[in-house]
Structure 1
Amino acid sequence: MFNKKKQPPIKSLIAEGSRITGDISFADGLRVDGDVTGNIRASDEVASILVISESAKVIGEVVADHIIINGSVKGPVHARLMLELQPKARIEGDVQYAALEMHQGALIAGQLRPIILGEEEKPTLKLAANNQ
């Protein structure tokens, strides 16, 4: 699905130790290592990727095409194409996804709602193997 195309470059970084209050809009790619209180929304005009690292804490809505989470999110998550939950991902809020990859250890306190892309297509769910 998303992996067949070239992923957009990550052009912006919110560094560890940074604290941002307010909504963030971005295009292409964004990596969050710090704390954000506000909504993070990718443009729907171009492909987007959002990485929320292990040290990151986000309080607010998160929307992008491809989202990779290994940190903490308190708020709804909407992955238009692909959501990857790494082992230390913690989500408190409802999650919408077209495809979901969830590693052992990731936690969600909320409802999972697949996005139905077409009548023939069903959302994909993949449980990542523990590679220890």
Structure 2
Amino acid sequence: MFGWKKTPPIRTLIGEGTVISGEIRFSDGLRIDGELHGDVSAVGEGQTLLVISDKARVHGKVRAGHVIINGSVEGPVVADELLELQPKARIVGDVRYEALEMHQGATIDGELRAMKSDAAPGLKLAASSPATPVGDRAAS
């Protein structure tokens, strides 16, 4: 869909109930179900995947190629390729993205900016049902 050939494998898991303080650097894929106090960033060449589950809390900067968030992030988020914000995503911090998919219920308390301000951003709104135009609604 966004030029992805193959999703990188998740090789590292920070499990639920785990609390880590410090910087995390990873290649390929990382899934966070626990709590992280520090920055998390992808390194190396190639595609990277970061999944922050609905149970996860990250207090620090987040950066990877493909970022999927369904938990809580307090800090700036940068997705070099695709940012997916699931319904329970909560971000307090500025967000930069190449392409964005945002589900109903996700919230951002910060600036939302496409990386290429001169080009039209890749924006996809995820909706559970088609929108009804205001003029078509029946009066109650």
Q: 1:2: how far off?
A: 3.9
Name 1:36's counterpart in structure 2.
36
Name 1:83's counterpart in structure 2.
83
- TM-score, normalised relative to structure 1: 0.93
Distance 1:130 1:59 in 2: 30
Alignment counterpart, residue 124 of structure 2, candidates 122, 126, 129: 126
- TM-score, normalised relative to structure 2: 0.87
The one-letter code sitting in structure 2 at the alignment partner of 1:71 is G
Q: 1:4: how far off?
A: 3.3
Q: Is 1:55 aligned with 2:50?
A: no
User: What RMSD over aligned residues (CA atoms) do the two structures have, in Å?
Assistant: 1.5
> Structure 1 regions of 5+ residues with no counterpart?
none
Give structure 1 regions of 4+ aligned residues with deviation exceeding 2 angstroms.
1-4
The one-letter code sitting in structure 2 at the alignment partner of 1:122 is A
Q: 1:46: how far off?
A: 2.0
> Structure 2 regions of 5+ residues with no counterpart?
130-140
The one-letter code sitting in structure 2 at the alignment partner of 1:76 is P
Identity %: 58
CA shift digits 1:91-112 (9 cap, x unpaired): 0000000000000000000000
The one-letter code sitting in structure 2 at the alignment partner of 1:39 is D
Distance 1:20 1:2 in 2: 32
CA shift digits 1:23-67 (9 cap, x unpaired): 000000000000000000001422100000000000000000000
The one-letter code sitting in structure 2 at the alignment partner of 1:128 is A
1:7 is paired with a residue of what secondary structure? coil
Name 2:25's counterpart in structure 1.
25
Name 2:5's counterpart in structure 1.
5
